[in-house]
Amino acid sequence: MTIDVMARDDAVSTVAREVRELVRRRGLDPVGDRAGLEQLVADALADYTERAALGVVPALADPEATARAVADSLGGLGPLQPYLDDPEIEEIWINSPAQVFVARRGVSELTTTLLTADQVRDLVERMLKVSGRRLDLSSPFVDATLPGGERLHVVIPDVTREHMAVNIRKHVVRAHHLDHMVRLGSLTPHAARFLDASVRAGANVLVAGATQAGKTTMLNALAGSIPAGQRVVTCEEVFELRLPVRDQVAMQCRQPSLEGTGEIPLRRLVKEALRMRPDRIVIGEVREAESFDLLVALNAGVPGMCTLHANSAREAVTKMCTLPLLAGENVSDRFVTPAVAASLDLVVHLGVTPDGVRQVREVVAVTGRVEEDRVETAQIFRRRPVALGGELVRGDGFPAGVERYERIGVDVHALLSGDA
């Protein structure tokens, strides 16, 4: 390290130390009061610049960069903050202190950021302090929501081999209506009009796809079609959904305490949601036995939407027929399969192209019939192969429950034929 670089680092450290002391004296919350922190940084920089002009301390090469670095180190996530502020970056993950990756427009890249193990640990502690969740040997995994809405996931050794594994998932594009999905290129206007009518008619929608396929974004967009007077209750592992709904109650799971008590799983939230007079119930993601409670809710006449990991719409329906079996030995496929056929109306399957573009690959209707223990489906929209243009086009299927569309004044035959 050259003398000039050492002097520059010393100057930045001096400003950071002075701002930290001002924060302590004034009792300022550097995370909660960003504007107050930036004012303190500006004051400290002005004072430092005056001393530098007198030759008392080394001059700052880039005062603006210094102000940003000091504010990020005290009120943000230090070297990770520029990635959080970059609108093109969707996710940040740390495999080791020397390996910090980001996903930019769906494509991953290794950054030039180099951390130390102490820095990684300090960053994780800072993030968890805001969330109120804990991470220790008895609880080596954690899911939490950051103040900006980002989702944090951390795993510690010895579950990992050597270093903490940290993932920060951002929600770069918040689509609040299906029209936004059309502008993003995920949907065609024709498919968007059909999905909009389906949600308004009270259809139960399952959004399926792989990790980072845009399931949560699609769920947000679908929620934009929920009629304004309806009450929506959401249930999630951690808060991610940002539904454009006026009458909404959002609930998230809770980890057990140090004594092993107080845990609130997703199944409990779904059950409690039914006691809260919902017009709609939205579940962030079903992975296990909570799918059974969702089926019970849908069979009770409460319209709902949720997401599910699956490689196709057909596999999503199959998975919904098997996951509820995890709820207990007394739950059999003789109940679950007909319940799925009777409760589920539409499956929207999403995928990601090799260059990171998220697309709706197919929209499938559940007809309500079961043939040889298999739930029958009909393809409403399908995406052509890339060699044939890759467009989302009308399939040959038709949704069940035409009377629901009629109640809201929609001729679904004309809508699907393109005449409406």
- Residues 219, 162 within the same domain: no
Nearest C-alpha neighbor of 8 from the set 46, 53, 51, 65: 65
Q: How many domains does the chain have?
A: 3
Structural domain that includes position 270: 178-417
List the pLDDT tens digit at each of the 420 positions of the chain: 444 444 455 677 788 888 888 888 888 877 767 788 888 888 888 888 888 888 888 888 788 888 888 887 787 788 898 899 898 898 999 999 999 999 988 789 999 999 999 999 999 988 888 777 888 887 899 988 887 788 899 999 989 999 999 999 987 656 789 999 999 889 999 999 999 999 999 999 999 999 888 899 999 999 999 999 999 999 999 888 888 888 999 999 988 877 778 889 999 999 999 999 999 999 999 999 999 999 999 988 899 999 999 999 999 999 999 999 999 888 888 899 999 999 999 999 999 888 878 899 999 999 999 988 899 999 999 999 887 778 999 999 999 989 999 999 999 999 998 765
Q: Answer with the one of 58, 75, 92 that is the final residue of a domain.
A: 75
Q: Which residue has the tokens 């918040």?
A: 174
Q: Are residues 283 and 373 in the same domain?
A: yes
147 burial via Cβ count (<10 Å: 0-12, 13-18, 19+): exposed
| Claim to verify: residue 357 and residue 256 sit in the same structural domain | yes
Question: Does 190 share its domain with 310?
Answer: yes
CATH of the domain at 130: 3.30.450.90
> Within this chain, do residues 234 and 291 fall inside the same structural domain, yes or no?
yes
339: tokens are 């319940």
Are 226 and 341 part of one and the same domain? yes
Q: Are strands 247-252 and 231-236 parallel, antiparallel or unpaired?
A: parallel
Last residue of a domain, one of 13, 47, 75: 75
**66 & 12 share domain:** yes
- Boundary (domain end) residue, out of 169, 198, 227: 169
Rounded Cα distance, 132 and 125, in Å: 10
**Does one domain contain both 274 and 159?**
no
CATH of the domain at 305: 3.40.50.300
98 and 43 in a common domain:
no
What residue spans of 136-236 are helical by DSSP H? 178-183, 189-200, 215-223
Burial of 41 (0-12, 13-18, 19+ CB in 10 A): buried
If asked whether residues 334 and 350 sit together in one domain, one would say yes
Give yes or no: residues 207 and 156 share one domain: no
- One domain, residues 65 and 93: no
Specify the pTM. 0.81
Alpha-carbon span 352 to 212, nearest angstrom: 8
